[in-house]
Structure 1
């Protein structure tokens, strides 16, 4: 069987401090994502395709078999009728627009989607939901349990609960129509969302060294299920 081609989004950053060349390179821009995303796509049996900003989303999803929306900075509050404040982290409105277009292209083609952290928040906003601008109790790295809804995709992957990490300071406020909440933190914060062909988690499974990462296996298996094709 062909290896599924999995599109993985990233972010744009200044090259300053990230190269060993002459200072002139500081003016250049990098497209990058944390290696863990690609490593776990490979471990699950997929072939990661890094998607730089500015390419045609439709062309990407014509060729890719699935999509991973990765973590990053805050989704622009203006997209859900809110106003940024001093705690809002560096906004990337171009990335917001690009990834929303990728999400739409993936759905139009029936491609499975895995959305992680910012990715979950972006999906909710793209579908008409809103976010909490700042959650102090979640604004640092820690571990906690999540309760998972029986019968959901996440429930089939993790069981009734899972130990996860927390590296975010925003979260879902009003859930968009069409998205089902399938996991919550002890304080009630949404930690999992699902719709047909889409699984979104608020935590970072690619950073959990000592925990299983079945969501990546779900993504690859979803490509290979009846009704999906591989392009690689």
Structure 2
């Protein structure tokens, strides 16, 4: 049986590799490994042209982590800690997300991906979480993951086979006002919303943490399983 094709959005940033230093479309390889190990065929989706046009060729979609969303999209002025805004990436990801959700495609949002989902549904963001929770544990230092326990709803607990997990965190923003149709599926003890799902969708989950950085990442298996199921249904 062919592997379900999982599109993963990516960064466009200056990069250095072998003898070259230039702008590159890039993605932490952990995403590729997790999707492949789960039985999916990963395909990287750069923010070029209109990625929504390829949505019909995908069986599932992941919006990956990255820089901050332009606060103008949710009607807020920028905080002085808001950064790494890439408006071209915002435009591409909001378009491909709309296409995927309209098609009922299995979807997983990771970190920034959860924020894209929330803003796309009319929600807003806390632009600098330490201002709200009084600590920097969700993003303790540049390039360093934090470890904060999160309590899971029954839906997500079924996927993780646990009521609480301590995953890798690296985010300084989080959901403020919840978007339309979203249900919270995980909280940190400080009140931060750490996961959501879209009501009425076959599989649309998003987590604020970085499951790709954890060896135990059942949410990728759940996504690939849902994508394989959807692909089989289309072929009938």
Note whether the superposition's TM-score is higher than 0.5.
Answer: yes
- 2:225 aligned residue (221, 227, 231): 221
Residue 156 (structure 1) aligned to one of 147, 152, 158: 158
**1:47-78: CA deviations, max 9, x gaps?**
00011111322321111110010000011111
CA contact (8 A) 2:45 2:51 kept: no
Q: Secondary structure at the match of 1:61?
A: helix
Q: Does the aligned pair in 2 maintain the 1:74–1:118 contact within 8 Å?
A: yes
Q: What is the aligned counterpart of 2:206 among 173, 189, 200?
A: 200
Most deviating of 81-90 and 182-191? 81-90
Paired residues of 2:153 and 2:185 also in contact (CA < 8 A): yes
Q: Measure how far apart 1:155 and its partner are.
A: 1.8
Please state how far the C-alpha of 1:91 moved relative to its aligned partner. 0.5
2:7 aligned residue: 7
Partner of 2:107: 113
Contact 1:145 1:186 (C-alpha < 8 Å) held by counterparts: yes
RMSD: 1.7
Residues 64-100 of structure 1 deviation map (CA, whole Å, 9 limit, x = unaligned): 1100100000111111111113211210111111101
Which residue in the other structure is 2:171 paired with? Answer: 168
- How far residue 110 of structure 1 moved from its aligned partner, in angstroms, is 1.7
Match of 1:39? 33
Unpaired runs of 5+ residues, structure 2, are none
Spell out structure 1 runs of 4+ moving beyond 6 A: none
Write the distance in 1 (CA, Å) between the matches of 2:55 and 2:234: 11
Count of residues in correspondence between the two structures: 221
2:55 & 2:228 partners in 1: Cα distance? 16
Residues 52-131 of structure 1 aligned to structure 2 (within 5 Å): 52-131=46-125
Q: Is there any run of 5+ residues in structure 1 with no aligned partner, and where?
A: none
Q: Answer whether contact 1:5 1:230 (CA < 8 A) is retained.
A: no
- Matched with 1:20 is 18
Give the TM-score taking structure 1 as reference length. Answer: 0.90
CA distance in 2, matches of 1:229, 1:105: 19
TM-score, normalization by structure 2: 0.88
